[in-house]
C-alpha cells in the first residue's frame, strides 16, 4: 500500500532532514559541528566567496555562532572529518571513511580510463610525486614545478596537478590541511586515524550503507535521488537495493506544490517521522546557492514551486537575476532571492537587490526578519557596515 505524503508534510520532512526546521542557535562546539555534518551526510566545498565560502555558509545557516576557522579545527586538529568527492568536493564525517573505499576505487578507475587518460602523467611520475610527499611531508601543488600543456585543451593544468589529484581521488593521498583554501596533500596513513583507515567493510555492505544513509537523509526519494545523493553507487546498484524487500522500504506518493505528484521510497520509520513532525521555525534565512536544501533544483521546484538556477556560468547579458543569488527561506517557504556581497577589505556587506516570489508581500514583519538576518550575516563575516541599495530598505 502506498502512503500519501502531502506537500506540506514533504516540505517539513525535507527541512527537518536538512536541519533547517529549528532556530540555528546554541554553542558552535566541534561536537555540534560534527553532528551537523553527520546529519547532512556531507558539506560541499567551494572556492567562491561572494559573502562566505559555501561550506562555511552552510554550517552557519545551521548554527549562527559558527565562524570560518572552525572547519579547520575539525579537519586538521581533531581529524573528525575528511575531504573527498561526492557529486563534488566535500567534507564528510571521519566515521564514514570505511564506507568510502569503493568510491576511491571508482574514482581512480574513471580517471584512468576516462577523460584524464590523455593528460595523466606516466606511472613513474605519479610514483615520484608520492615518494616526494612521503619524504618531505604535506605539499601543495605550488611545491611542484611545471606548466600546463595548452595543446591538450585550453583549461589544461600542469601534469603534477593531475598526478596529485589522481592520488587524492584514489585515496592514496588525503587532505592534510588547507591554507588560504590551498589544499595540502599527505599520505592517507598520516592523516586518517587507523581505527577508520584499517576497518574493512565489504563492497556490498558499503552499497547497503550508502543507500540506507542516503534515503534517511533525503526522508523520501526515487532510485535516482538515492544514487545522486553520494554519487558513489551506480543506478543499477541502487535499483537492485530498492528491489530487495529486506530493506523494508515504504512506497510513498509525494504531492507537489502544483498539486501533481510522484512515486518514491521512504525509510521504514517514515510513519513515526510523520507523527512527530512539527512546523519549522518562522525565521527568515539567507541560504547559500550550494546549500543541500536547494542543491537538487528539480526537488525544490516540485516541493516549493521555486524555480532556482545558479547563473555563475551564464553570460552576464543572459542572466535573469545575477552571478551569485541567494535563496530566501522563511518558515516552510522559499519566498525570494537576494543579491548580497561582502567587501572584507572595506568591512562592508552590501545588499544589491531583492526579488520576492509571486504572491509574497514585503510586509513590515518580513522585512524586519530579513534585516535581522542581514545583521547576523554581517557579524558572521566581520563586516562593520551594511549598505542597502535594494528598494525595500
**Matching residue, cell 537523509:** 217
Cβ(270)–Cβ(250) under 8 Å?
Answer: yes
pLDDT at 155 over 70: no
Query: How far from 59 is each of 35, 39, 120, 169, 363, CA to CA, in Å?
Result: 11, 11, 35, 25, 28
pLDDT of residue 391: 74
Nearest to 286 by CA among 12, 63, 57: 57
pLDDT of residue 142: 93
Beta carbons within 8 Å of 134's beta carbon, 6+ residues apart: 187
pLDDT at 152 over 60: no
Residues found in the chain: 393
pLDDT of residue 154: 47
- Tens of pLDDT along 104-145? 999 999 988 877 877 888 889 999 999 999 999 999 999 998
pTM: 0.95
Q: Which helix (H) or strand (E) holds 178?
A: strand 173-179
> Per-residue pLDDT averaged across 36-58, rounded?
97
- Tens of pLDDT along 186-226? 999 999 999 999 999 999 999 999 999 999 999 999 999 99
pLDDT of residue 117: 79
- Tens of pLDDT along 250-259? 999 999 999 9
- Tens of pLDDT along 315-366? 999 999 999 999 999 999 999 999 999 999 999 999 999 999 999 988 999 9
pLDDT of residue 118: 79
Q: How confident is the model at residue 13 (pLDDT cuts 50, 70, 90)?
A: very high
Task: Assign 26 to helix, strand or coil.
Answer: coil
Q: What is the DSSP letter of 294?
A: T
Nearest to 102 by CA among 277, 232, 225: 232
pLDDT of residue 322: 94
Q: What mean pLDDT is reported for the chain?
A: 94
> Per-residue pLDDT averaged across 96-110, rounded?
96
Q: Which residue has the higher pLDDT, 305 or 158?
A: 305
Residue 186, beta-bridge partner list: 174
pLDDT at 148 over 80: no
**Matching residue, cell 572584507:** 344
- Go through 197-211 and write b for each residue having 16 or more CB atoms within 10 A of its CB, e for each that does not: beeeeeeeebbbebb
C-alpha–C-alpha distance, residues 210 and 152, integer Å: 36
Q: What is the DSSP letter of 337?
A: E
Handedness of CA 196, 200, 203, 208 (dihedral sign): negative
pLDDT of residue 69: 87
- Tens of pLDDT along 163-186? 999 999 999 999 999 998 999 999
Rg (CA), the chain: 22
- Which segments of 74-202 does DSSP mark as H helices, in order? 101-113, 123-136, 159-169, 194-197
Residue 264, beta-bridge partner list: 252
pLDDT of residue 17: 97
Q: What is the DSSP letter of 122?
A: P
Q: Strands 81-85 and 43-44, how do they pair? A: unpaired
Cβ(175)–Cβ(75) under 8 Å?
Answer: yes
pLDDT of residue 246: 64
Task: Assign 121 to helix, strand or coil.
Answer: coil
Beta strands of 230-281 (E only): which ranges? 250-255, 261-266
pLDDT of residue 98: 98
C-alpha–C-alpha distance, residues 238 and 99, integer Å: 15
Amino acid at each position: 500500500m502506498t502512503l500519501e505524503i502531502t506537500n506540506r508534510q514533504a516540505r517539513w520532512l525535507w527541512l527537518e532532514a536538512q536541519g533547517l526546521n529549528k532556530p540555528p542557535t546554541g554553542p558552535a562546539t566541534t561536537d555540534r559541528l560534527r553532528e551537523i555534518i553527520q546529519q547532512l551526510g556531507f558539506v560541499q566545498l567551494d572556492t567562491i566567496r561572494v559573502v562566505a565560502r559555501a561550506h562555511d555558509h552552510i554550517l552557519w545557516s545551521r548554527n549562527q555562532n559558527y565562524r570560518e576557522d572552525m572547519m579547520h579545527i575539525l579537519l586538521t586538529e581533531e581529524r573528525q572529518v575528511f575531504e573527498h568527492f561526492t557529486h563534488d568536493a566535500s567534507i564528510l564525517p571521519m566515521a564514514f571513511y570505511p564506507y568510502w573505499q569503493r568510491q576511491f576505487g571508482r574514482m581512480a578507475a574513471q580517471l584512468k580510463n576516462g577523460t584524464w587518460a590523455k593528460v595523466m602523467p606516466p606511472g613513474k611520475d605519479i610514483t615520484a610525486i608520492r615518494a616526494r610527499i612521503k619524504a618531505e611531508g604535506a605539499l601543495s601543488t605550488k611545491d611542484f614545478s611545471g606548466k600546463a600543456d595548452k595543446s591538450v585543451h585550453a583549461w589544461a593544468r600542469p601534469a603534477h596537478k593531475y598526478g596529485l589529484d589522481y592520488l587524492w581521488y584514489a585515496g592514496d593521498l588525503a587532505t592534510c590541511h588547507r591554507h588560504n583554501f590551498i589544499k595540502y596533500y599527505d599520505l592517507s596513513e598520516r592523516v586518517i586515524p587507523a581505527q577508520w583507515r584499517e576497518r574493512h567493510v565489504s563492497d556490498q555492505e558499503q552499497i547497503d550503507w550508502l543507500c540506507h544513509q542516503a534515503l534517511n537523509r533525503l526522508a523520501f526519494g526515487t532510485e535516482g535521488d538515492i544514487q545522486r545523493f553520494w554519487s558513489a553507487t551506480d543506478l543499477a546498484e541502487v535499483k537492485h537495493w530498492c528491489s530487495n524487500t529486506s530493506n523494508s522500504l515504504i512506497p510513498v506518493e509525494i504531492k507537489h506544490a502544483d498539486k501533481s505528484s510522484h512515486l518514491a521510497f521512504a525509510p521504514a520509520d517514515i510513519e513515526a517521522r510523520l507523527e512527530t513532525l512539527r512546523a519549522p521555525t518562522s525565521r527568515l534565512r539567507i541560504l547559500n546557492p550550494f546549500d543541500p536544501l536547494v542543491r537538487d533544483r528539480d526537488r525544490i521546484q516540485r516541493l516549493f514551486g521555486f524555480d532556482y538556477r545558479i547563473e555563475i556560468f551564464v553570460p552576464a547579458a543572459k542572466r535573469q537575476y545575477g552571478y551569485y543569488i541567494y535563496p530566501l527561506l522563511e518558515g516552510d517557504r522559499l519566498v525570494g532571492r537576494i543579491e548580497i556581497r561582502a567587501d572584507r577589505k572595506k568591512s562592508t556587506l552590501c545588499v544589491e537587490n531583492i526579488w520576492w516570489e509571486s504572491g509574497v508581500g514585503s510586509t513590515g514583519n518580513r522585512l524586519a526578519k530579513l534585516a535581522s538576518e542581514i545583521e547576523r550575516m554581517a557579524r558572521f563575516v566581520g563586516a562593520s557596515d551594511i549598505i542597502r541599495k535594494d528598494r525595500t530598505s
